Amino acid sequence: MHRLSFLMRRSALGYALLLALPATAVAAGDTTLTGDWGGRRSAWAEQGVSVRGDYVSETFGVVDGGYENTSARYAQQLRVGVDLDMAKLAGWGGGSLHVTINDRRGRSTSADLVGNRFPIQEVYGGQYTRLSEFSYDRSFNQGRTHLKLGFYAMGNQFASHTLLVNFVNAAFCAHPLAFSANSGWYNYPAARWGIEGAQQLTPQLNLHAGWFQVNPNLGFGARDTYAFEPFASGTTGAIFPLEFTWKPATARYPGVYKFGGYYDSSSVPRRGLDTSRSTGRDGAYLLVEQKLFTPGADPSIGLTGFAQYMASDHDSALMTRWYSVGGVYQGIGTRTQDRIALGYVAGRINHRLLDARRAELIDAGVAADSPLAGLSAAEELYELAYSAQITPWLMLRPDLQYIVNPGTYAYTHTRNAVVVGLQAKLTF
């Protein structure tokens, strides 16, 4: 417990120092820690150059279960970028160029202390500096048609749940984790070459489609050798996402309903006992986000519910089914920007993998009715988070996670884990 207490105290001290910054350092109402830089920042934006940056830290420890409950782990992400208005800068008639550099450091609570698949810290993965975006986008047809192309994470645009940034575990924030587990789909900060288009079909209905490169060498597990090599070799195919988005026309009870699917043309080994190659990986999903309760005139206050369902093919998928449900309530007393979030998620492992593992155990002399052969079918997670908006540029998020069957994807019996921690988000 000494190590856990030390890390928690160190994080708390750092956040306290941020809160103790002199009043002259940040003007009242500023949306960033560093302010307007004496007017230069807003002047640059007027000329077409918008500079952005943010920092996220996540310190989490295990208080019960898992591998070890006497320690904690810290991870962080630093991101800087620039958005260039090409109409103002080059007279292109419209469109913006985006460049983002991302840096991640630290260690994983999941890998070191719990052994589960769902990353407890959403900023853990690819712990090095990398190019995360170099893209161009532009709207046409009075904003009803949108085009984007370049080198960026497809998860920035498809199957995203903006509501779920109120959680910390990557299973929630902010895409179903099964996408990247089952295919060449990658989320931020892992970028790929791609092109996409979106068309507003009606005021409430949008169609969104794209093409993206599949290259495992550019993934989270890849060496930092490829961090600034967007043309690295290793392409195995292409992934084609298609998504419909419906937004009911109501101001008081807004909703977002997304139905989509993907096809990945890569050739990969089949899961389970049959290890012959399968060409093509596919999946379909339904994402729902709906305002359920608004106590007053302000539509931002109240309860918003969410649900997710995803199904993937049994030949190649690691997780064949994905379920998630929960809600976020904004407006806690007089703190209108604070939010409390509660959610449940489950990822069901492909039964062919379990069958293959049981066959291995039986071949090794383990009885079929032995506890060792009683493998769990799904990892599950319950998460409770409170988002305290201290200033427009600083958010602190105490977080509690309960992980059920954390050893599912390692085929081990690991005790259910209770994890607590603190996330800080700083915009500068």
CA 213, CA 232: separation in Å to the nearest integer?
Answer: 11
Radius of gyration of the CA atoms of the chain, in A:
23
CA 412, CA 347: separation in Å to the nearest integer?
Answer: 16
Task: Give 279-338 as a DSSP string.
Answer: EEEEEEEEEEEEEEE--SS-TTSEEEEEEEEEEE-TTT-SEEEEEEEEEEEEEETTEEEE
CA 182, CA 266: separation in Å to the nearest integer?
Answer: 11
Q: Give the strand pairing for 129-140 and 145-152.
A: antiparallel
Q: Are 393 and 94 in contact, with CB atoms under 8 Å apart?
A: no
**3-state SS class at 309:** strand
In the chain the domains, ranked by start, together with CATH numbers, are 2-21+48-427 (2.40.160.180)
pLDDT of residue 192: 96
Q: Which of 164, 154, 184 is nearest to 342 (CA)?
A: 164
**3-state SS class at 243:** strand
Q: Are 385 and 356 in contact, with CB atoms under 8 Å apart?
A: no
pTM greater than the 0.95 cutoff: no
H or E stretch at 98: strand 96-106
Match 């290793």 to its residue by tokens. 234
CA 183, CA 283: separation in Å to the nearest integer?
Answer: 9
Beta strands in 215-301 (DSSP E): 237-246, 255-269, 277-293
Q: Which residue type sits at 273?
A: L
Match 């709207």 to its residue by tokens. 139
DSSP state of 405: S
Q: Which of 65, 89, 60, 31 is nearest to 393 (CA)?
A: 31
Rounded (10°) CA dihedral 405, 407, 413, 418: -50
Q: Tens place of pLDDT for every residue, the chain, 428 residues?
A: 454 554 555 454 444 444 444 433 455 568 999 999 999 999 999 999 999 999 999 999 999 999 988 899 999 999 999 999 999 999 998 899 999 999 999 999 999 999 999 999 999 999 999 999 999 999 999 999 999 999 999 998 899 988 999 999 999 987 889 999 999 999 999 999 999 999 999 999 999 999 999 999 987 765 678 899 999 999 999 999 999 999 998 888 999 999 999 999 999 999 998 889 988 999 999 999 999 999 988 889 999 999 999 999 999 999 999 999 999 999 999 999 999 999 999 999 999 999 999 899 888 888 877 776 789 999 999 999 999 999 999 999 999 999 999 999 999 999 999 999 999 999 99
- Residue 230 pairs with which residues in a beta bridge? none
Q: Are 380 and 409 in contact, with CB atoms under 8 Å apart?
A: no
CA 194, CA 179: separation in Å to the nearest integer?
Answer: 17
Rounded (10°) CA dihedral 309, 313, 317, 318: 50
pLDDT of residue 27: 59
CA atoms within 13 A on the CB side of 206: 18
